[in-house]
């Protein structure tokens, strides 16, 4: 719905599509210098080529779980938002998958009217994972490296032969976060697939963030996502190719502290799933809570 005042879901509508670079690679850009050969076109999986619908439809969803939690941070009103992201693959196989993603949310001041002066942007004061990246369930595999070795035997010419070395490697889904922007109004999460299992992005992931608005002013959140969509090259076994995907929300989500406080006082429930929309955390400051408890990662 995109607006907190409507007492419904807090969600972004995100249209994801191949960016200009990848469109040129696929031979759809009339200005592109490189034109794909017939073999190159046939190499790209049918489910991607067909109007590119497999890439453009329902690859990524984003919303904020209920309830929104009102608390304090440094004696200032603060909001705990549990951001839920969904990655939807059109084909459930490692041959076509999303290998990595960067999700950016900007929290900015949002005056009620254009005549109202623009104030200071909210601050992102905490997020998960904070101190170190999250690493999912580990898996193990074997990596083989081939090297060419030259060996001198007496006065004869060097003898060349190849040697292969194997070692055990480990991998797991990796999620890291950081803040950016003047006053730290931006949170950025980066997700990288398990390099061993090559299982792509998790079906769903919930990552919490704590936002402190300035002077209880209304603020908005806009979202941007970039993903690395990959498929296996069918002409050259063992070689993969990828196309960068990009998406940005159609409309921002607005948060009005006055409206949120009223929803909490009245204990208003959503008409969609009957869950409480907003609740107040009385017993402790948001500075002290364990954010990991508010996260959820559904690994592939």
What's residue 243's pLDDT?
Answer: 66
Domain-located, residue 151: no
Give the residue-averaged pLDDT of 161-178: 82
Considering the entire predicted model, what is its pTM? 0.77
| Residue 201, pLDDT above cutoff 70 | yes
Tell me how far apart the alpha carbons of residues 172 and 103 are, in angstroms, rounded to a whole number.
19
Number of domains in the chain: 1
Tell me how far apart the alpha carbons of residues 237 and 195 are, in angstroms, rounded to a whole number.
18
Domain-located, residue 146: no
Domain-located, residue 140: no
> Do the Cβ atoms of 179 and 188 come closer than 8 Å?
yes
Per the structure, the complete domain to which residue 72 belongs is given by: 4-135+174-298
Out of 28-37, 149-158, 179-188, least confident range: 28-37
What's residue 114's pLDDT?
Answer: 83
What's residue 7's pLDDT?
Answer: 38
Domain-located, residue 156: no
Give the residue-averaged pLDDT of 144-155: 66
Produce one character per residue of 39-54: b if its CB has 16 or more CB atoms within 10 Å, e if not.
ebeebbbeebbeebeb
Q: Quote the distance between the C-alpha of residue 286 and its chain's center.
A: 24
| Residue 219, pLDDT above cutoff 90 | yes
Domain-located, residue 145: no
Domain-located, residue 155: no
Domain-located, residue 247: yes
pLDDT band, very low/low/confident/very high, at 271 (cuts 50, 70, 90): confident
Domain-located, residue 152: no
Tell me how far apart the alpha carbons of residues 235 and 11 are, in angstroms, rounded to a whole number.
41
Q: Which of these, 148, 146, 150, lies nearest to 167 by C-alpha position?
A: 146
154: left (phi over 0), alpha (psi -120 to 50) or beta: left
């Amino acid at each position: 719905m995109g607006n907190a005042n409507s007492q419904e879901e807090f969600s972004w509508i995100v249209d994801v599509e191949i960016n200009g670079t990848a469109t040129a690679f696929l031979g759809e850009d009339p200005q592109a210098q490189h034109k794909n050969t017939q073999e190159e076109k046939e190499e790209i999986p049918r489910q991607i080529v067909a109007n590119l619908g497999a890439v453009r439809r329902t690859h990524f969803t984003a919303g904020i779980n209920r309830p929104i939690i009102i608390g304090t941070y440094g004696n200032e009103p603060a909001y705990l938002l549990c951001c839920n992201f969904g990655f939807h693959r059109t084909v459930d196989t490692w041959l076509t998958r999303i290998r990595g993603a960067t999700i950016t949310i900007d929290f900015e001041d949002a005056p009620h009217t254009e005549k109202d002066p623009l104030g200071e942007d909210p601050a992102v004061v905490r997020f998960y994972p904070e101190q170190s990246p999250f690493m999912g369930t580990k898996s193990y595999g074997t990596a083989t490296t081939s090297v060419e070795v030259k060996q001198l035997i007496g006065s004869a010419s060097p003898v060349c032969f190849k040697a292969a070395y194997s070692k055990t490697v480990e991998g797991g889904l990796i999620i890291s976060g950081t803040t950016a922007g003047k006053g730290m109004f931006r949170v950025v999460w980066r997700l990288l697939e398990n390099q061993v299992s090559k299982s792509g992005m998790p079906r769903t992931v919930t990552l919490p963030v704590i936002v402190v608005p300035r002077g209880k002013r209304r603020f908005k959140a806009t979202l941007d996502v970039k993903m690395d969509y990959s498929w296996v090259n069918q002409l050259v076994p063992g070689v993969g190719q990828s196309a960068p995907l990009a998406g940005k929300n159609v409309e921002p989500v607005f948060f009005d502290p006055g409206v949120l406080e009223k929803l909490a006082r009245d204990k208003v429930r959503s008409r969609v799933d009957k869950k409480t929309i907003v609740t107040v955390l009385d017993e402790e400051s948001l500075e002290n809570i364990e954010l990991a408890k508010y996260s959820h990662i559904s690994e592939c």
